[in-house]
Chains A and B, each alone.
Chain A
Amino acid sequence: MTGTHDALAMPAAVVPRRSVPGYLPLVLPPVAYLVIIFVIPLALLAVLSLLRHEAGLIVNQLTLENYAKLLGDTYYVRVIYRTLGTSLAVAFFVTFLSYPVAYFLTRTRTTWKPVLVALVLAPELSGVVLRTYGWLVILEPEGLLNTVLQRLGLLDAPLKLVHNYAAVTIGLTHVLLTFGVFTVMASLQAMDPTLELAAQNLGANRVQTFLRITLPLTLPGILGSFFLAFALAAGAYATPAILGGKTVEVMSTLIYTQLLYILNWPLASAAAVILLVIVLTTLMLLGRFGARRGAVL
Protein backbone atom coordinates (compact mmCIF):
# COMPACT_ATOMS: atom_id res chain seq x y z
CA MET A 1 0.00 0.00 0.00
CA THR A 2 1.01 3.57 -0.46
CA GLY A 3 -0.29 5.04 2.77
CA THR A 4 2.99 6.12 4.26
CA HIS A 5 4.20 7.75 1.10
CA ASP A 6 0.98 9.68 0.77
CA ALA A 7 1.41 10.87 4.28
CA LEU A 8 4.75 12.35 3.42
CA ALA A 9 3.39 13.94 0.28
CA MET A 10 0.31 15.48 1.89
CA PRO A 11 1.11 18.93 3.22
CA ALA A 12 -2.04 19.09 5.33
CA ALA A 13 -0.92 16.55 7.86
CA VAL A 14 -0.31 18.65 10.93
CA VAL A 15 0.23 16.18 13.71
CA PRO A 16 -0.79 17.59 17.06
CA ARG A 17 1.59 16.73 19.86
CA ARG A 18 0.65 16.14 23.40
CA SER A 19 1.34 19.45 25.16
CA VAL A 20 1.55 19.13 28.96
CA PRO A 21 1.90 15.68 30.43
CA GLY A 22 -1.48 14.82 31.96
CA TYR A 23 -0.12 14.16 35.40
CA LEU A 24 1.43 17.58 35.99
CA PRO A 25 -1.74 19.49 36.88
CA LEU A 26 -2.62 16.65 39.22
CA VAL A 27 0.74 16.33 40.87
CA LEU A 28 1.70 19.96 41.25
CA PRO A 29 -0.92 21.26 43.68
CA PRO A 30 -0.57 18.57 46.35
CA VAL A 31 3.17 18.38 45.95
CA ALA A 32 3.62 22.13 46.16
CA TYR A 33 1.33 22.21 49.16
CA LEU A 34 3.16 19.48 50.98
CA VAL A 35 6.55 20.90 50.17
CA ILE A 36 5.58 24.22 51.71
CA ILE A 37 3.55 23.06 54.67
CA PHE A 38 5.42 19.85 55.41
CA VAL A 39 8.75 19.23 53.75
CA ILE A 40 10.45 22.57 54.32
CA PRO A 41 9.29 22.97 57.94
CA LEU A 42 10.31 19.43 58.68
CA ALA A 43 13.65 19.85 56.98
CA LEU A 44 14.34 22.93 59.09
CA LEU A 45 13.69 20.86 62.16
CA ALA A 46 15.48 17.80 60.89
CA VAL A 47 18.65 19.83 60.51
CA LEU A 48 18.80 19.73 64.29
CA SER A 49 19.20 15.97 64.13
CA LEU A 50 22.68 16.59 62.78
CA LEU A 51 23.67 18.82 65.69
CA ARG A 52 25.14 17.88 69.03
CA HIS A 53 23.16 18.17 72.26
CA GLU A 54 25.33 18.85 75.24
CA ALA A 55 24.53 19.75 78.80
CA GLY A 56 20.96 20.55 77.88
CA LEU A 57 21.88 22.85 75.04
CA ILE A 58 22.25 22.49 71.29
CA VAL A 59 25.80 22.98 70.15
CA ASN A 60 26.46 24.23 66.66
CA GLN A 61 28.52 21.30 65.61
CA LEU A 62 27.66 18.78 62.94
CA THR A 63 27.52 15.20 64.08
CA LEU A 64 25.89 11.89 63.32
CA GLU A 65 25.94 10.83 66.94
CA ASN A 66 22.16 11.12 67.35
CA TYR A 67 21.64 8.62 64.58
CA ALA A 68 24.52 6.50 65.81
CA LYS A 69 22.88 6.35 69.20
CA LEU A 70 19.41 5.53 67.91
CA LEU A 71 20.67 2.89 65.52
CA GLY A 72 23.51 1.56 67.64
CA ASP A 73 22.46 1.60 71.28
CA THR A 74 20.61 -1.65 72.01
CA TYR A 75 17.99 0.20 74.01
CA TYR A 76 16.98 2.44 71.13
CA VAL A 77 17.23 -0.38 68.64
CA ARG A 78 14.83 -2.29 70.83
CA VAL A 79 12.48 0.67 70.80
CA ILE A 80 12.59 0.62 67.03
CA TYR A 81 11.83 -3.08 66.98
CA ARG A 82 9.03 -2.67 69.46
CA THR A 83 7.56 0.08 67.35
CA LEU A 84 7.74 -2.08 64.28
CA GLY A 85 6.35 -5.10 66.08
CA THR A 86 3.45 -3.28 67.67
CA SER A 87 2.57 -1.39 64.54
CA LEU A 88 2.68 -4.51 62.41
CA ALA A 89 0.53 -6.37 64.91
CA VAL A 90 -1.94 -3.51 65.03
CA ALA A 91 -2.00 -3.25 61.24
CA PHE A 92 -2.66 -6.96 61.02
CA PHE A 93 -5.42 -7.02 63.62
CA VAL A 94 -7.06 -3.92 62.22
CA THR A 95 -7.17 -5.37 58.73
CA PHE A 96 -8.20 -8.79 59.99
CA LEU A 97 -11.08 -7.43 62.04
CA SER A 98 -12.08 -4.79 59.53
CA TYR A 99 -12.55 -7.20 56.71
CA PRO A 100 -15.57 -9.06 58.05
CA VAL A 101 -17.25 -5.81 58.99
CA ALA A 102 -16.53 -4.25 55.61
CA TYR A 103 -17.71 -7.39 53.83
CA PHE A 104 -20.86 -7.47 55.87
CA LEU A 105 -21.57 -3.80 55.29
CA THR A 106 -20.95 -4.08 51.56
CA ARG A 107 -23.17 -7.09 51.03
CA THR A 108 -25.89 -6.66 53.57
CA ARG A 109 -29.37 -5.60 52.57
CA THR A 110 -30.53 -4.84 56.07
CA THR A 111 -32.30 -1.55 56.62
CA TRP A 112 -29.92 -0.97 59.51
CA LYS A 113 -27.07 -0.50 57.11
CA PRO A 114 -26.91 3.32 57.44
CA VAL A 115 -26.76 3.04 61.20
CA LEU A 116 -24.13 0.35 61.07
CA VAL A 117 -22.02 2.36 58.65
CA ALA A 118 -22.24 5.45 60.82
CA LEU A 119 -21.38 3.51 63.95
CA VAL A 120 -18.05 2.50 62.47
CA LEU A 121 -17.02 6.11 62.94
CA ALA A 122 -17.72 5.93 66.66
CA PRO A 123 -14.36 4.74 68.04
CA GLU A 124 -12.56 7.47 66.22
CA LEU A 125 -15.08 10.09 67.32
CA SER A 126 -15.09 9.25 70.98
CA GLY A 127 -11.89 11.14 71.72
CA VAL A 128 -8.64 9.51 72.56
CA VAL A 129 -8.37 10.25 76.27
CA LEU A 130 -11.80 9.13 77.30
CA ARG A 131 -11.72 6.13 75.00
CA THR A 132 -8.43 5.06 76.47
CA TYR A 133 -9.75 5.68 79.92
CA GLY A 134 -12.57 3.32 79.01
CA TRP A 135 -10.04 0.67 78.07
CA LEU A 136 -8.22 1.11 81.35
CA VAL A 137 -11.46 0.53 83.20
CA ILE A 138 -12.04 -2.62 81.23
CA LEU A 139 -8.57 -4.07 81.13
CA GLU A 140 -6.82 -3.27 84.38
CA PRO A 141 -6.19 -5.95 87.01
CA GLU A 142 -9.36 -5.12 88.92
CA GLY A 143 -11.15 -3.95 85.82
CA LEU A 144 -14.34 -5.18 84.19
CA LEU A 145 -12.85 -7.92 82.10
CA ASN A 146 -10.77 -9.52 84.82
CA THR A 147 -13.62 -9.23 87.27
CA VAL A 148 -16.04 -10.93 84.91
CA LEU A 149 -13.60 -13.67 84.00
CA GLN A 150 -12.78 -14.31 87.62
CA ARG A 151 -16.43 -14.38 88.65
CA LEU A 152 -17.02 -16.92 85.92
CA GLY A 153 -14.21 -18.97 87.34
CA LEU A 154 -12.21 -18.81 84.15
CA LEU A 155 -9.26 -17.15 85.80
CA ASP A 156 -7.44 -17.53 89.05
CA ALA A 157 -5.12 -14.56 88.89
CA PRO A 158 -6.00 -11.44 86.92
CA LEU A 159 -4.56 -11.16 83.45
CA LYS A 160 -2.09 -8.37 82.99
CA LEU A 161 -3.68 -6.45 80.18
CA VAL A 162 -2.54 -2.90 80.81
CA HIS A 163 0.82 -1.20 80.77
CA ASN A 164 2.32 -3.55 78.27
CA TYR A 165 2.49 -3.89 74.52
CA ALA A 166 -0.62 -6.04 74.46
CA ALA A 167 -2.63 -3.18 75.91
CA VAL A 168 -1.21 -0.77 73.38
CA THR A 169 -2.05 -3.21 70.61
CA ILE A 170 -5.62 -3.61 71.80
CA GLY A 171 -6.16 0.10 72.19
CA LEU A 172 -4.69 1.02 68.83
CA THR A 173 -6.48 -1.79 67.05
CA HIS A 174 -9.71 -0.52 68.46
CA VAL A 175 -9.29 3.07 67.42
CA LEU A 176 -7.89 2.29 63.99
CA LEU A 177 -10.72 -0.08 63.03
CA THR A 178 -12.57 2.85 61.55
CA PHE A 179 -9.80 3.34 59.02
CA GLY A 180 -9.61 -0.33 58.20
CA VAL A 181 -13.32 -0.80 57.63
CA PHE A 182 -13.81 2.13 55.30
CA THR A 183 -10.69 1.44 53.30
CA VAL A 184 -11.56 -2.19 52.74
CA MET A 185 -15.11 -1.19 51.89
CA ALA A 186 -13.88 1.09 49.14
CA SER A 187 -12.21 -1.90 47.57
CA LEU A 188 -15.01 -4.39 48.08
CA GLN A 189 -17.46 -1.97 46.58
CA ALA A 190 -15.55 -1.92 43.33
CA MET A 191 -15.45 -5.69 42.96
CA ASP A 192 -17.83 -7.49 40.62
CA PRO A 193 -19.74 -10.00 42.76
CA THR A 194 -20.43 -12.29 39.81
CA LEU A 195 -16.79 -13.31 39.99
CA GLU A 196 -17.58 -15.03 43.27
CA LEU A 197 -20.43 -16.87 41.60
CA ALA A 198 -18.14 -17.90 38.78
CA ALA A 199 -15.69 -19.36 41.28
CA GLN A 200 -18.37 -21.26 43.14
CA ASN A 201 -19.66 -22.55 39.86
CA LEU A 202 -16.21 -23.95 39.21
CA GLY A 203 -16.37 -25.87 42.46
CA ALA A 204 -14.79 -23.45 44.91
CA ASN A 205 -16.50 -23.52 48.29
CA ARG A 206 -17.07 -20.35 50.25
CA VAL A 207 -13.67 -20.38 51.88
CA GLN A 208 -11.84 -21.07 48.65
CA THR A 209 -13.87 -18.44 46.85
CA PHE A 210 -12.95 -15.97 49.50
CA LEU A 211 -9.27 -16.81 49.57
CA ARG A 212 -8.72 -17.04 45.87
CA ILE A 213 -11.10 -14.49 44.42
CA THR A 214 -12.42 -11.97 46.90
CA LEU A 215 -9.24 -11.52 48.86
CA PRO A 216 -6.87 -10.99 45.93
CA LEU A 217 -9.31 -8.71 44.19
CA THR A 218 -9.63 -6.51 47.24
CA LEU A 219 -5.90 -6.48 47.81
CA PRO A 220 -5.67 -2.71 47.27
CA GLY A 221 -8.10 -2.20 50.12
CA ILE A 222 -6.30 -4.69 52.32
CA LEU A 223 -2.93 -3.14 51.69
CA GLY A 224 -4.40 0.33 52.07
CA SER A 225 -5.93 -0.57 55.40
CA PHE A 226 -2.73 -2.25 56.51
CA PHE A 227 -0.63 0.74 55.58
CA LEU A 228 -2.89 3.33 57.18
CA ALA A 229 -3.12 1.32 60.37
CA PHE A 230 0.62 0.74 60.40
CA ALA A 231 1.52 4.38 59.90
CA LEU A 232 -1.05 5.63 62.37
CA ALA A 233 -0.01 3.10 64.98
CA ALA A 234 3.63 4.03 64.54
CA GLY A 235 2.85 7.71 65.01
CA ALA A 236 0.21 7.47 67.74
CA TYR A 237 1.15 9.05 71.02
CA ALA A 238 -1.75 9.20 73.44
CA THR A 239 -2.84 5.58 73.33
CA PRO A 240 0.59 4.08 73.96
CA ALA A 241 1.31 6.71 76.56
CA ILE A 242 -1.84 6.06 78.56
CA LEU A 243 -2.46 2.37 77.99
CA GLY A 244 1.18 1.45 77.86
CA GLY A 245 2.30 3.56 80.69
CA LYS A 246 5.93 4.50 80.71
CA THR A 247 7.27 1.02 80.98
CA VAL A 248 6.41 0.79 77.32
CA GLU A 249 8.40 2.88 74.91
CA VAL A 250 7.84 3.28 71.21
CA MET A 251 9.22 5.80 68.77
CA SER A 252 6.36 8.23 69.12
CA THR A 253 6.48 8.34 72.91
CA LEU A 254 10.24 8.65 72.74
CA ILE A 255 9.97 11.59 70.39
CA TYR A 256 7.27 13.24 72.45
CA THR A 257 9.18 12.96 75.70
CA GLN A 258 12.43 14.15 74.21
CA LEU A 259 10.79 17.03 72.43
CA LEU A 260 8.61 18.33 75.26
CA TYR A 261 10.17 17.26 78.52
CA ILE A 262 13.79 16.33 78.09
CA LEU A 263 14.24 19.10 75.54
CA ASN A 264 16.72 17.08 73.52
CA TRP A 265 15.50 18.26 70.15
CA PRO A 266 18.37 16.82 68.15
CA LEU A 267 17.59 13.33 69.39
CA ALA A 268 13.84 13.83 68.89
CA SER A 269 14.26 14.97 65.31
CA ALA A 270 16.66 12.15 64.50
CA ALA A 271 14.08 9.72 65.83
CA ALA A 272 11.40 11.39 63.72
CA VAL A 273 13.52 11.02 60.62
CA ILE A 274 14.07 7.34 61.36
CA LEU A 275 10.35 6.83 61.90
CA LEU A 276 9.65 8.54 58.58
CA VAL A 277 12.06 6.21 56.85
CA ILE A 278 10.48 3.17 58.48
CA VAL A 279 6.97 4.12 57.44
CA LEU A 280 7.92 5.04 53.89
CA THR A 281 9.88 1.83 53.52
CA THR A 282 6.82 -0.07 54.61
CA LEU A 283 4.78 1.80 52.04
CA MET A 284 7.27 0.87 49.37
CA LEU A 285 7.38 -2.79 50.38
CA LEU A 286 3.60 -3.01 50.42
CA GLY A 287 3.55 -1.36 47.03
CA ARG A 288 5.97 -3.90 45.65
CA PHE A 289 3.97 -6.72 47.17
CA GLY A 290 0.78 -5.36 45.66
CA ALA A 291 2.31 -4.72 42.26
CA ARG A 292 3.50 -8.30 42.07
CA ARG A 293 -0.09 -9.34 42.50
CA GLY A 294 -1.48 -6.90 40.01
CA ALA A 295 -2.70 -4.36 42.55
CA VAL A 296 -0.83 -1.09 42.41
CA LEU A 297 -0.67 0.53 45.78
Chain B
Amino acid sequence: MTQLAEKPDVKELEKPQLIEMLRQMLLIRRFEEKTAEMYSRSKIAGFLHLYIGEEAVAVGAINALNDDDQIVTHYRDHGHALARGIEPERIMAELFGKDTGVSRGKGGSMHLFDAKRSFMGGYAIVGGQLPLACGLAFANQRLRNGRIVLCIFGDGAVNEGAFHESLNLASVWKLPIIFLCENNFFGMGTDIRYVSAVIEVYKRAEAYAIPAEQVDGMDALAMYEVTQRLARHVRAGYGPAFLEAITFRFRGHSMADPELYRKKEEVQRWRGLDPITALRKQLDARGAIDDAAFEALQQDVEEVVNEAVRFAEESPKPPAEALYSNVYYEEPAADA
Protein backbone atom coordinates (compact mmCIF):
# COMPACT_ATOMS: atom_id res chain seq x y z
CA MET B 1 0.00 0.00 0.00
CA THR B 2 1.40 3.40 -0.92
CA GLN B 3 0.99 5.85 1.93
CA LEU B 4 -0.66 8.94 0.48
CA ALA B 5 -0.28 12.53 1.62
CA GLU B 6 -2.78 13.78 4.16
CA LYS B 7 -5.58 16.01 2.99
CA PRO B 8 -5.31 19.79 3.52
CA ASP B 9 -6.97 21.56 6.42
CA VAL B 10 -10.48 22.71 5.76
CA LYS B 11 -9.33 26.33 5.52
CA GLU B 12 -6.75 25.41 2.92
CA LEU B 13 -9.18 23.54 0.72
CA GLU B 14 -8.83 24.91 -2.80
CA LYS B 15 -11.73 25.72 -5.07
CA PRO B 16 -11.46 22.48 -7.08
CA GLN B 17 -11.61 20.39 -3.94
CA LEU B 18 -14.61 22.30 -2.62
CA ILE B 19 -16.38 21.95 -5.93
CA GLU B 20 -15.56 18.26 -5.98
CA MET B 21 -17.23 17.79 -2.58
CA LEU B 22 -20.34 19.60 -3.78
CA ARG B 23 -20.31 17.48 -6.93
CA GLN B 24 -20.14 14.30 -4.86
CA MET B 25 -23.13 15.40 -2.82
CA LEU B 26 -25.13 16.21 -5.91
CA LEU B 27 -24.08 12.87 -7.37
CA ILE B 28 -25.24 10.92 -4.33
CA ARG B 29 -28.56 12.78 -4.30
CA ARG B 30 -29.26 12.29 -7.98
CA PHE B 31 -27.94 8.75 -8.01
CA GLU B 32 -30.30 7.74 -5.22
CA GLU B 33 -33.31 9.53 -6.66
CA LYS B 34 -32.66 7.48 -9.74
CA THR B 35 -32.35 4.23 -7.80
CA ALA B 36 -35.75 4.93 -6.22
CA GLU B 37 -37.16 5.36 -9.71
CA MET B 38 -35.48 2.17 -10.87
CA TYR B 39 -36.80 0.35 -7.81
CA SER B 40 -40.36 1.34 -8.64
CA ARG B 41 -39.70 0.10 -12.15
CA SER B 42 -38.48 -3.19 -10.66
CA LYS B 43 -35.01 -2.81 -12.11
CA ILE B 44 -33.75 -2.94 -8.53
CA ALA B 45 -35.14 -5.28 -5.85
CA GLY B 46 -34.52 -6.39 -2.30
CA PHE B 47 -34.03 -3.73 0.35
CA LEU B 48 -33.04 -0.27 -0.82
CA HIS B 49 -32.01 2.18 1.91
CA LEU B 50 -31.62 5.74 0.69
CA TYR B 51 -29.07 8.16 2.11
CA ILE B 52 -30.79 11.29 0.83
CA GLY B 53 -30.42 14.09 3.38
CA GLU B 54 -27.28 12.61 4.94
CA GLU B 55 -24.86 13.31 2.05
CA ALA B 56 -22.74 15.77 4.01
CA VAL B 57 -21.74 13.09 6.51
CA ALA B 58 -20.21 10.75 3.96
CA VAL B 59 -18.69 13.43 1.75
CA GLY B 60 -17.23 15.49 4.59
CA ALA B 61 -15.81 12.55 6.50
CA ILE B 62 -14.48 10.45 3.63
CA ASN B 63 -12.81 13.34 1.80
CA ALA B 64 -10.86 14.08 4.97
CA LEU B 65 -9.32 10.59 5.00
CA ASN B 66 -6.32 9.27 3.14
CA ASP B 67 -7.29 7.27 0.09
CA ASP B 68 -5.92 4.05 1.56
CA ASP B 69 -7.71 4.38 4.90
CA GLN B 70 -10.30 1.68 5.20
CA ILE B 71 -14.05 2.18 5.31
CA VAL B 72 -16.44 -0.35 6.79
CA THR B 73 -20.09 0.56 6.94
CA HIS B 74 -23.70 -0.58 7.13
CA TYR B 75 -26.35 -1.40 4.54
CA ARG B 76 -27.14 2.29 3.90
CA ASP B 77 -23.93 2.49 1.93
CA HIS B 78 -24.42 4.11 -1.50
CA GLY B 79 -23.35 7.50 -0.23
CA HIS B 80 -20.21 6.17 1.36
CA ALA B 81 -19.29 4.20 -1.75
CA LEU B 82 -19.77 7.17 -4.06
CA ALA B 83 -17.87 9.52 -1.75
CA ARG B 84 -15.02 7.03 -1.78
CA GLY B 85 -14.92 7.35 -5.56
CA ILE B 86 -16.33 4.00 -6.62
CA GLU B 87 -17.67 4.26 -10.17
CA PRO B 88 -21.41 5.06 -10.14
CA GLU B 89 -22.02 2.65 -13.00
CA ARG B 90 -20.48 -0.24 -11.10
CA ILE B 91 -22.66 0.55 -8.10
CA MET B 92 -25.79 0.91 -10.23
CA ALA B 93 -24.91 -2.36 -11.96
CA GLU B 94 -24.70 -4.00 -8.54
CA LEU B 95 -28.17 -2.76 -7.65
CA PHE B 96 -29.38 -4.12 -10.98
CA GLY B 97 -27.85 -7.47 -10.01
CA LYS B 98 -25.44 -7.46 -12.94
CA ASP B 99 -22.09 -9.18 -13.41
CA THR B 100 -20.39 -5.80 -13.81
CA GLY B 101 -21.46 -4.69 -10.33
CA VAL B 102 -18.92 -4.00 -7.60
CA SER B 103 -19.89 -7.29 -5.95
CA ARG B 104 -20.75 -8.93 -9.28
CA GLY B 105 -24.43 -9.00 -8.41
CA LYS B 106 -24.00 -11.13 -5.32
CA GLY B 107 -24.21 -8.42 -2.69
CA GLY B 108 -26.75 -5.92 -3.93
CA SER B 109 -27.46 -2.56 -2.34
CA MET B 110 -26.59 -3.61 1.22
CA HIS B 111 -23.25 -5.21 0.39
CA LEU B 112 -21.08 -2.95 -1.73
CA PHE B 113 -17.38 -3.89 -1.70
CA ASP B 114 -14.33 -2.48 -3.47
CA ALA B 115 -10.96 -3.84 -2.44
CA LYS B 116 -9.04 -1.47 -4.75
CA ARG B 117 -10.45 1.49 -2.83
CA SER B 118 -10.16 -0.06 0.62
CA PHE B 119 -13.95 -0.06 0.78
CA MET B 120 -14.28 -3.04 3.10
CA GLY B 121 -17.98 -3.47 2.67
CA GLY B 122 -21.52 -2.66 3.63
CA TYR B 123 -22.99 -5.02 6.21
CA ALA B 124 -26.63 -5.75 6.90
CA ILE B 125 -26.59 -7.11 10.44
CA VAL B 126 -26.97 -4.02 12.61
CA GLY B 127 -23.74 -3.55 14.57
CA GLY B 128 -22.07 -6.49 12.85
CA GLN B 129 -19.42 -4.32 11.17
CA LEU B 130 -18.00 -2.85 14.36
CA PRO B 131 -16.09 -5.98 15.38
CA LEU B 132 -14.69 -6.17 11.84
CA ALA B 133 -13.46 -2.60 12.16
CA CYS B 134 -11.55 -3.63 15.28
CA GLY B 135 -9.86 -6.42 13.39
CA LEU B 136 -8.94 -4.26 10.41
CA ALA B 137 -7.52 -1.61 12.73
CA PHE B 138 -5.68 -4.26 14.71
CA ALA B 139 -4.04 -5.46 11.49
CA ASN B 140 -3.07 -1.89 10.56
CA GLN B 141 -1.56 -1.42 14.00
CA ARG B 142 0.49 -4.62 13.75
CA LEU B 143 1.54 -4.02 10.15
CA ARG B 144 2.42 -0.40 11.02
CA ASN B 145 1.03 0.68 7.67
CA GLY B 146 -0.25 4.04 8.85
CA ARG B 147 -3.81 3.29 7.78
CA ILE B 148 -6.81 3.98 9.93
CA VAL B 149 -10.37 2.65 9.79
CA LEU B 150 -13.55 4.68 9.45
CA CYS B 151 -16.37 2.60 10.92
CA ILE B 152 -19.84 3.91 10.10
CA PHE B 153 -23.09 2.90 11.83
CA GLY B 154 -26.38 4.39 12.94
CA ASP B 155 -27.95 5.47 16.21
CA GLY B 156 -29.86 2.21 16.35
CA ALA B 157 -26.68 0.14 16.26
CA VAL B 158 -25.52 1.78 19.47
CA ASN B 159 -27.74 -0.51 21.54
CA GLU B 160 -26.29 -3.73 20.16
CA GLY B 161 -23.87 -5.71 22.29
CA ALA B 162 -21.38 -5.55 19.43
CA PHE B 163 -21.11 -1.79 19.91
CA HIS B 164 -20.12 -2.22 23.54
CA GLU B 165 -17.64 -5.02 22.98
CA SER B 166 -16.04 -3.21 20.05
CA LEU B 167 -15.59 0.17 21.73
CA ASN B 168 -14.13 -1.46 24.82
CA LEU B 169 -11.67 -3.54 22.81
CA ALA B 170 -10.70 -0.62 20.56
CA SER B 171 -10.00 1.52 23.61
CA VAL B 172 -8.02 -1.10 25.53
CA TRP B 173 -5.89 -1.95 22.49
CA LYS B 174 -5.67 1.67 21.27
CA LEU B 175 -6.88 0.67 17.82
CA PRO B 176 -6.76 3.23 14.98
CA ILE B 177 -10.48 3.62 14.36
CA ILE B 178 -12.85 6.53 13.98
CA PHE B 179 -16.27 5.33 15.08
CA LEU B 180 -18.73 7.46 13.14
CA CYS B 181 -22.33 7.32 14.31
CA GLU B 182 -24.84 8.72 11.83
CA ASN B 183 -27.47 9.82 14.28
CA ASN B 184 -30.63 10.40 12.26
CA PHE B 185 -32.77 9.94 15.37
CA PHE B 186 -34.49 6.83 14.12
CA GLY B 187 -33.63 3.18 13.98
CA MET B 188 -36.04 2.06 11.30
CA GLY B 189 -39.32 3.37 12.76
CA THR B 190 -38.13 3.67 16.33
CA ASP B 191 -37.38 7.05 17.87
CA ILE B 192 -34.05 7.04 19.69
CA ARG B 193 -35.74 8.61 22.72
CA TYR B 194 -37.74 5.44 23.35
CA VAL B 195 -34.86 3.01 23.17
CA SER B 196 -31.64 4.71 24.24
CA ALA B 197 -30.91 5.56 27.85
CA VAL B 198 -28.61 8.37 26.75
CA ILE B 199 -29.65 10.03 23.50
CA GLU B 200 -26.53 12.15 23.11
CA VAL B 201 -24.74 9.21 21.58
CA TYR B 202 -21.22 10.65 21.86
CA LYS B 203 -21.56 10.65 25.64
CA ARG B 204 -21.73 6.86 25.65
CA ALA B 205 -18.14 6.76 24.42
CA GLU B 206 -17.04 8.09 27.81
CA ALA B 207 -17.78 4.67 29.29
CA TYR B 208 -14.83 3.45 27.22
CA ALA B 209 -12.55 6.44 27.79
CA ILE B 210 -12.74 7.24 24.07
CA PRO B 211 -12.55 10.93 23.10
CA ALA B 212 -15.85 11.84 21.50
CA GLU B 213 -17.41 14.76 19.69
CA GLN B 214 -20.75 15.73 18.24
CA VAL B 215 -20.92 17.53 14.91
CA ASP B 216 -23.54 18.99 12.59
CA GLY B 217 -23.91 16.25 10.01
CA MET B 218 -25.70 18.59 7.65
CA ASP B 219 -22.51 20.65 7.25
CA ALA B 220 -19.99 18.96 4.95
CA LEU B 221 -17.14 21.30 5.85
CA ALA B 222 -17.70 20.82 9.58
CA MET B 223 -17.65 17.08 8.96
CA TYR B 224 -14.41 17.45 7.01
CA GLU B 225 -12.78 19.52 9.71
CA VAL B 226 -13.58 17.30 12.68
CA THR B 227 -12.91 14.05 10.82
CA GLN B 228 -9.49 15.25 9.74
CA ARG B 229 -8.66 16.36 13.26
CA LEU B 230 -9.73 13.03 14.73
CA ALA B 231 -7.91 11.16 11.97
CA ARG B 232 -4.65 12.86 12.97
CA HIS B 233 -5.20 11.91 16.58
CA VAL B 234 -6.03 8.31 15.71
CA ARG B 235 -3.22 7.95 13.17
CA ALA B 236 -0.76 9.24 15.74
CA GLY B 237 -1.47 6.14 17.80
CA TYR B 238 -3.55 7.63 20.61
CA GLY B 239 -6.29 5.09 20.08
CA PRO B 240 -9.82 5.33 18.72
CA ALA B 241 -12.02 8.41 18.47
CA PHE B 242 -15.79 8.68 18.40
CA LEU B 243 -17.83 11.05 16.27
CA GLU B 244 -21.57 11.57 16.42
CA ALA B 245 -22.95 13.29 13.32
CA ILE B 246 -26.40 14.78 13.76
CA THR B 247 -28.29 14.21 10.57
CA PHE B 248 -31.63 13.11 9.14
CA ARG B 249 -32.87 10.87 6.38
CA PHE B 250 -35.40 12.65 4.19
CA ARG B 251 -36.85 9.40 2.87
CA GLY B 252 -38.25 6.35 4.59
CA HIS B 253 -36.02 3.74 6.20
CA SER B 254 -36.27 1.64 3.05
CA MET B 255 -38.55 1.67 0.02
CA ALA B 256 -41.02 -0.43 2.03
CA ASP B 257 -41.41 2.12 4.83
CA PRO B 258 -44.94 3.62 5.23
CA GLU B 259 -43.43 6.21 7.63
CA LEU B 260 -46.25 5.94 10.14
CA TYR B 261 -43.90 6.83 12.97
CA ARG B 262 -42.96 10.43 12.19
CA LYS B 263 -44.69 13.66 11.25
CA LYS B 264 -44.51 15.22 7.82
CA GLU B 265 -43.68 18.53 9.52
CA GLU B 266 -40.58 17.08 11.16
CA VAL B 267 -39.34 15.86 7.80
CA GLN B 268 -40.15 19.20 6.22
CA ARG B 269 -38.24 21.08 8.89
CA TRP B 270 -35.15 19.01 8.18
CA ARG B 271 -35.52 19.33 4.42
CA GLY B 272 -35.15 23.05 5.11
CA LEU B 273 -31.63 22.25 6.29
CA ASP B 274 -30.66 20.55 3.05
CA PRO B 275 -26.91 19.84 3.20
CA ILE B 276 -26.46 20.50 -0.50
CA THR B 277 -28.00 23.97 -0.32
CA ALA B 278 -25.88 24.58 2.77
CA LEU B 279 -22.60 23.68 1.07
CA ARG B 280 -23.55 25.65 -2.02
CA LYS B 281 -24.06 28.73 0.20
CA GLN B 282 -20.68 28.19 1.87
CA LEU B 283 -18.93 27.91 -1.47
CA ASP B 284 -20.79 30.94 -2.69
CA ALA B 285 -19.55 32.86 0.32
CA ARG B 286 -16.00 31.79 -0.49
CA GLY B 287 -16.63 32.87 -4.05
CA ALA B 288 -15.90 29.32 -5.11
CA ILE B 289 -19.03 28.85 -7.19
CA ASP B 290 -21.63 30.79 -9.16
CA ASP B 291 -25.02 29.72 -10.53
CA ALA B 292 -23.61 28.78 -13.90
CA ALA B 293 -20.97 26.56 -12.34
CA PHE B 294 -23.62 24.95 -10.11
CA GLU B 295 -25.87 24.19 -13.04
CA ALA B 296 -22.90 22.77 -14.87
CA LEU B 297 -22.32 20.45 -11.93
CA GLN B 298 -25.93 19.35 -11.97
CA GLN B 299 -25.67 18.75 -15.69
CA ASP B 300 -22.53 16.71 -15.25
CA VAL B 301 -24.05 14.63 -12.47
CA GLU B 302 -27.23 14.07 -14.46
CA GLU B 303 -25.20 12.61 -17.28
CA VAL B 304 -23.10 10.46 -15.01
CA VAL B 305 -26.22 8.98 -13.43
CA ASN B 306 -27.92 8.35 -16.75
CA GLU B 307 -24.75 6.77 -18.03
CA ALA B 308 -24.69 4.59 -14.91
CA VAL B 309 -28.23 3.39 -15.64
CA ARG B 310 -27.38 2.73 -19.27
CA PHE B 311 -24.31 0.78 -18.25
CA ALA B 312 -26.29 -1.22 -15.72
CA GLU B 313 -29.09 -1.90 -18.19
CA GLU B 314 -26.72 -3.12 -20.88
CA SER B 315 -24.51 -5.13 -18.60
CA PRO B 316 -24.82 -8.92 -18.64
CA LYS B 317 -26.38 -10.87 -15.81
CA PRO B 318 -23.99 -13.01 -13.77
CA PRO B 319 -23.37 -16.39 -15.41
CA ALA B 320 -25.18 -19.34 -13.82
CA GLU B 321 -21.87 -20.68 -12.47
CA ALA B 322 -21.47 -17.53 -10.40
CA LEU B 323 -23.86 -19.03 -7.86
CA TYR B 324 -21.15 -21.53 -6.91
CA SER B 325 -18.05 -19.35 -7.07
CA ASN B 326 -16.46 -17.50 -4.14
CA VAL B 327 -18.03 -19.72 -1.49
CA TYR B 328 -14.39 -20.46 -0.74
CA TYR B 329 -11.35 -18.45 -1.74
CA GLU B 330 -10.18 -18.91 -5.31
CA GLU B 331 -6.80 -17.88 -6.68
CA PRO B 332 -7.37 -14.58 -8.47
CA ALA B 333 -7.37 -14.68 -12.25
CA ALA B 334 -4.46 -13.05 -14.06
CA ASP B 335 -6.26 -9.76 -14.63
CA ALA B 336 -7.23 -9.32 -10.99
User: Are A and B subunits of one complex?
Assistant: no
